[in-house]
């Protein structure tokens, strides 16, 4: 029997899909993969675009408010995620897409900008996956924003897991703008397992724990989901492959 292929330790330059969140401030959330070292990271960036590309994005998003937008660095400018984390790469060209599908291992749909200039303002969140760190008992999310808008990004722990992104109806008033800009963790009542094939959070108000502290329970209003997926090569084996992982909409109520 052939020996298993060793896990590569050194990242290689690659293209990286990033979901776009926000209009007052633009954030990028990396589309991670447990099965590839180059994408073995959860990462959120605060960025800016060149004026023309930002204007196109805002106009297109205004006309398609329920769509997921993402951008991918051009093949001619490949890099590693540690390059972004260390500041070795601070600007790069990317193509911007509206809509996304898990079909075919991840397929962008409608290109709206062929070559946008992305400038990384700061790294808001960066974590390499570690299968030795236990999964949280309850659903945990990274809460971040600029005070005008706020967003949630599900804390991805261990294979199998899911990526869940949404923008809140309003920024929470119990958190300072500085903390919101830095990003904090909040814990929801539902358990983190089993992994479902649709959003575990229906629109409504939830009593969340700030940083998982039971005595720091505060209300958080959740709106519609614009991206939920167990696919796109996030997991070694997609637990929802036979059902088709959901993207955009139809969140289910929590019992």
DSSP result, 78-107:
-B-HHHHHHTS--EEEEEEEEEEE-GGG-E
Strands 217-222 and 150-154: unpaired
Does 201 have pLDDT greater than 70?
Answer: yes
pLDDT tier at 4, thresholds 50, 70, 90 = low
Q: Mean of the pLDDT values across residues 72-80? A: 97
Residues 6+ apart with CB under 8 A from 135: 157, 158, 161, 192, 193
Confidence of residue 246 (pLDDT cuts 50, 70, 90): very low
Q: Please report which confidence band the pLDDT of residue 6 belongs to, taking 50, 70 and 90 as the band edges.
A: confident
What integer pLDDT is reported at residue 185 of this predicted model?
98
Query: Which whole number is the average pLDDT over 180-186?
Result: 98
pLDDT beyond 80 at 248:
no
Per-residue pLDDT at 241: 85
**What does the pLDDT read at residue 251?**
32
Q: Is the pLDDT of residue 209 over 90?
A: yes
Instruction: Decide which of 149 and 246 is more confident.
Output: 149
Kindly list the distances between the CA atom of residue 105 and the CA atoms of 20, 135, 229, 231, 245, in Å, as whole numbers in the listed order: 19, 25, 12, 8, 12
Query: For residue range 210-233, what is the model confidence (pLDDT) as tens digits?
Result: 999 999 999 999 999 989 999 988
CB 125 within 8 A of CB 171: no
> Averaged over 65-91, what is the pLDDT?
96
pLDDT at 172 over 50: yes
pLDDT per position as a tens digit, 93-150: 999 999 987 766 666 778 999 999 999 999 999 999 998 999 999 999 999 999 999 9
Q: Is 255 helix (H, G, I), strand (E, B) or coil?
A: coil
Q: Is 233 exposed, middle or buried (0-12, 13-18, 19+ CB in 10 A)?
A: middle
Spatial separation of the C-alpha atoms in residues 150 and 230, rounded to whole Å: 23
Whole-number average pLDDT of the chain: 91
Percent of the chain exceeding pLDDT 90 equals 84
Is residue 144 within 8 Å of residue 151, measured between CB atoms?
Answer: yes
Question: How do strand 184-191 and strand 138-145 relate by DSSP bridges?
Answer: antiparallel
pLDDT at 26: 98
Cβ neighbours, 10 Å, residue 52: 11
On whether the pTM is more than 0.85, the answer is yes
% helix, strand, coil for the chain, step of 5: 10, 40, 50
Mean predicted confidence (pLDDT) in 35-62:
97
What's the order of all strands across the beta sheet hosting 184-191?
217-222, 204-210, 184-191, 138-145, 150-154, 163-167, 227-229
What is the tens place of the pLDDT at every residue in 231-245? 988 999 999 987 644
Counting residues of the chain whose pLDDT is more than 70, the rounded percentage is 91
Q: Determine the average pLDDT of the residues in 169-183.
A: 97
Please list the alpha-helical segments (H only) found in the chain: 51-63, 81-86, 177-182
List the one residue out of 169, 200, 145 whose CA is nearest residue 65. 169
């Amino acid at each position: 029997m052939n020996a298993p292929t060793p896990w590569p330790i050194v990242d290689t330059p690659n293209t990286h899909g990033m979901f776009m969140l926000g209009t007052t401030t633009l954030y990028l959330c990396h589309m991670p993969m447990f099965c590839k070292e180059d994408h073995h990271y959860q990462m959120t960036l605060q960025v800016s675009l060149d004026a023309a590309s930002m204007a196109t994005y805002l106009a297109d998003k205004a006309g398609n408010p329920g769509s997921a937008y993402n951008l991918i660095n051009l093949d001619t400018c490949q890099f590693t995620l540690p390059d972004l984390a260390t500041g070795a790469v601070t600007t790069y060209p990317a193509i911007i897409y509206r809509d996304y599908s898990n079909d075919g291992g991840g397929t962008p749909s409608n290109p709206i900008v062929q070559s946008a200039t992305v400038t990384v303002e700061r790294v808001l969140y960066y974590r390499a996956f570690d299968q030795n760190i236990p999964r949280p008992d309850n659903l945990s999310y990274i809460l971040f924003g600029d005070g005008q808008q706020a967003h949630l990004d599900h804390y991805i722990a261990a294979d199998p897991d899911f990526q869940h992104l949404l923008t809140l109806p309003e920024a929470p008033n119990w958190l300072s703008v500085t903390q919101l800009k830095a990003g904090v963790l909040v814990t929801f009542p539902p358990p983190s397992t089993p992994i479902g094939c649709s959003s575990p959070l229906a629109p409504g108000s939830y009593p969340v724990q700030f940083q998982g502290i039971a005595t720091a329970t505060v209300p958080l209003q959740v709106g519609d989901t614009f991206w939920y997926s167990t696919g796109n090569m996030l997991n070694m084996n997609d637990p929802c492959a036979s059902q088709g992982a959901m993207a955009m909409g139809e969140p289910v109520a929590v019992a």
